[in-house]
Amino acid sequence: MARRGLFFVAPAVLLMLAIYIIPMLVLAVFSVTDYQLGAMSTSFVGLDNFRKAFSDPVFLRALWNTVLYAVIVIPAGVILALGVALLVYNRKRSRGFWEIAYFLPVTATLVAMATVFQFLLHPSLGPVNAAIKWFGFEPVGFLSNPSLLIPTMAIIGIWQVLGFNMVLFLAGLTAIPKDLHEAVRLDGAKNPIDRFLTVTLPMLGPTMMFVIVTTSISAFKVFETVAVLTKGRSGSEVLLFALYLEGFEYSNTGYAAALTLIFLAIVLVLSIGQTVHMDRKVHY
């Protein structure tokens, strides 16, 4: 019995060692050296890489931009999705259609769609600026004005995540017992807004928590839109793109390892919120 069990898990265990455990150890070792892929000699530098990161203006800008991106995407991506889910949930015949319309961006290849957005938002050829001009405003340089780069990418991020969150909220709404609404209505909550605040929102607590956590993790992983639209040029540096450049374009392996650990720490802090939630479920 024990032999059989070990035989069955052996491939998974070997791959676990090769893909997770050994690379993690190697990553930790890299992060305290000045290793560069292809360099002749490497030396131990202690925590210098981490110190360097927090005084590196490019990395700090990337961190700041990523936080800014997350601060736009998380509330908008969650609240809009909740609104759409509430509207879609009460549709009887047209529900399938709305689900498709809002979920379609989730399945689409983001790299290809980012190219489409580049064109949509084009200052002279895109319909968005054509509409803005038609209303009598100045055309907006969505992808040329450095201070608009992160908000523009955040809009694309919201567009992509909305349908995903909507489906999670729809699942949460389905789980709320129907008679609860009826009970509250009889108790005098005639107004739909009252019923939403006293029943729906508290009952959606666990789903809400879950949606916020997954949205923030995916916001911190923003990469494709930057890679396609700006190649990380000034104003659009983000965490993963900075990491990509240091590690794979400039071959500063040691430094990139330190940045990776910082990135991993952020993701882990966000995931712990998720695990704690999954373990004991948010109480109502």
Partner 1 sequence: MAALRRYLPHVVLAAGAFVMLLPFYWMFLTSIRSPAEIFSVSLWPIPEKFAALDNYSRAASQVPMLRFMMNGVIVCFGILIVQVLTAVPAAYALAKLRFPGRKLLLTLVIAALTVPIQALALPLFVGLAKAQLLNTYFAMMMPFLLSVFAIFLFNQSFRSYPDEIIEAARMDGFSELEICFRLVLRGSLPSLAAFSVFSLVAHWNDLYWPMIVVTDTNLAPPPLGMLFFADVESGANYGALMAGATIITAPMVVCFLLARKHFIAGITMTGVK
Residues 140-179 that bind partner 1 (CB under 8 A): 159, 162-164, 167-168, 171
Neighbours of 105 (CB within 10 A): 17
CB of 207 to partner 1, least distance (A): 10
CB of 103 to partner 1, least distance (A): 7
How big is the site for partner 1, counted in residues (CB under 8 A)? 88
Gap between the Cα atoms of 82 and 76, Å rounded: 10
Between 30 and 69, whose beta carbon lies closer to partner 1?
30
Question: CA angle, corner 73, sides to 259 and 80, nearest 5?
Answer: 160
Contact 209, 282 (CB under 8 A): yes
Contact 263, 67 (CB under 8 A): no
Between 10 and 197, whose beta carbon lies closer to partner 1?
10
Residue 2 binds to partner 1 (criterion: CB under 8 A) = yes
What would you report as the CA-atom Rg of the chain, rounded to the nearest whole angstrom?
24
Q: Which of residues 228-247 bind partner 1 (CB under 8 A)?
A: 228, 240, 243-244, 247
Gap between the Cα atoms of 257 and 263, Å rounded: 10
Question: What sign for the dihedral angle of Cα 226, 230, 235, 241?
Answer: positive
Residue 280 binds to partner 1 (criterion: CB under 8 A) = no
CB of 193 to partner 1, least distance (A): 13
Between 75 and 127, whose beta carbon lies closer to partner 1?
127
Binding pattern to partner 1, positions 83-112, x when CB under 8 A? -x--xx-xx--x-x-xxxxxxxxxxxxxxx
Q: Which of residues 187-226 bind partner 1 (CB under 8 A)?
A: 210-211, 214, 217, 221, 223-224
- What are the C-alpha distances in Å from 12 to residues 8, 9, 20, 130, 213? 8, 5, 11, 55, 28
Residue 183 binds to partner 1 (criterion: CB under 8 A) = no
CB of 111 to partner 1, least distance (A): 4
Among 32, 120, 209, 282, binds partner 1 (CB under 8 A): 120
Q: Taking each helix axis from N to C terminus, what angle separates 205-220 and 57-89, rounded to the nearest 10 degrees?
A: 140
Gap between the Cα atoms of 49 and 221, Å rounded: 22
Q: How does DSSP assign 75-95, residue by residue?
A: HHHHHHHHHHHHHHHT-SSSH
What are φ and ψ of residue 44, in 5° steps? -75, 130
CB of 222 to partner 1, least distance (A): 11
Applying CB under 8 A, which part among 41-49, 51-59, 120-128, 173-181 lies near partner 1? Answer: 120-128
Structure tokens at 269: 């802090």
CB of 197 to partner 1, least distance (A): 19
Q: Which of residues 43-72 bind partner 1 (CB under 8 A)?
A: none
CB of 192 to partner 1, least distance (A): 10
Between 11 and 57, whose beta carbon lies closer to partner 1?
11
Residue 40 binds to partner 1 (criterion: CB under 8 A) = no
Among 61, 140, 202, 271, binds partner 1 (CB under 8 A): 271
Contact 146, 64 (CB under 8 A): no
